């Protein structure tokens, strides 16, 4: 009986962990979605040429830190709907050349650019106050 209980608890724990990995970053990521697009070299080079403010988001769907960052970013865009930041999401698992290009040591790396100049670089940062401060420092559309 003890073995069956242990197995059931283990299976439930795995199910909860799997659900947490697959759950969306926040209840509503509509604000982030308006500013975010999948990374392509064309989109990146075009945004650089326009001297846009670009947030490179090196992301993996299985990464809990990335999901926390997306919650913070969603909150930022909810509070700053006129933000001029373009979020380009680099797929950590499938865009290794670009992960290397941005010198991202791991998923959950954020890098902020204005044109070709890198303004901020962060790995695994989830503190709202830190992320907000760095974005607002450079975001001309922030409220």
3-state secondary structure 111-123: EEEECCEEEEEEE
Q: From 44, 15, 28, select the one nearest 77 (Cα to Cα).
A: 28
Q: Output 142 or 114, whichever has higher pLDDT.
A: 114
Q: Look at residue 100 in the predicted model and tell me its pLDDT.
A: 96
Confidence check: pLDDT of 67 > 80: yes
* Strand locations in the chain (E): 36-38, 53-59, 85-91, 109-114, 117-123
Please measure the distance between the N-terminal and C-terminal CA atoms of the chain and give it in whole angstroms: 60
User: What's the topology of domain 25-138?
Assistant: Glutaredoxin (3.40.30)
Q: What is the radius of gyration, based on Cα positions, of the chain? A: 18
What percentage of the chain has pLDDT greater than the value 70?
80
Q: Which two tokens stand for residue 40?
A: 């392509």
What percentage of the chain has pLDDT greater than the value 90?
69
Q: Is the pTM of this model over 0.85?
A: no
Q: Which two tokens stand for residue 48?
A: 């650089």
| 3-state DSSP assignment of residue 57 | strand
Choice among 28-42, 43-57, 74-88 with the minimum mean pLDDT: 28-42
Q: Look at residue 5 in the predicted model and tell me its pLDDT.
A: 54
Confidence check: pLDDT of 126 > 80: yes
Mean pLDDT over the full length of the chain: 85
């Amino acid at each position: 009986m003890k073995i069956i209980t242990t197995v059931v608890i283990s299976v439930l724990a795995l199910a909860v962990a799997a659900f947490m990995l697959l759950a969306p970053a926040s209840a509503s990521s509509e604000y982030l979605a308006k500013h975010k697009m999948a990374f392509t070299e064309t989109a990146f080079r075009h945004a650089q040429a326009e001297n846009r403010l670009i947030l490179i988001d090196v992301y993996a769907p299985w990464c809990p830190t990335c999901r926390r960052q997306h919650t913070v970013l969603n909150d930022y865009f909810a509070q700053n709907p006129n933000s001029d930041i373009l979020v380009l999401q680099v797929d950590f698992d499938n865009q290794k050349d670009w992960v290397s290009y941005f010198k991202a040591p791991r998923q959950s790396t954020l890098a902020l650019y204005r044109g070709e100049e890198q303004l901020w670089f962060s790995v695994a940062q989830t503190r709202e106050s830190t992320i907000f401060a760095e974005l607002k420092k450079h975001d001309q559309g922030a409220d």
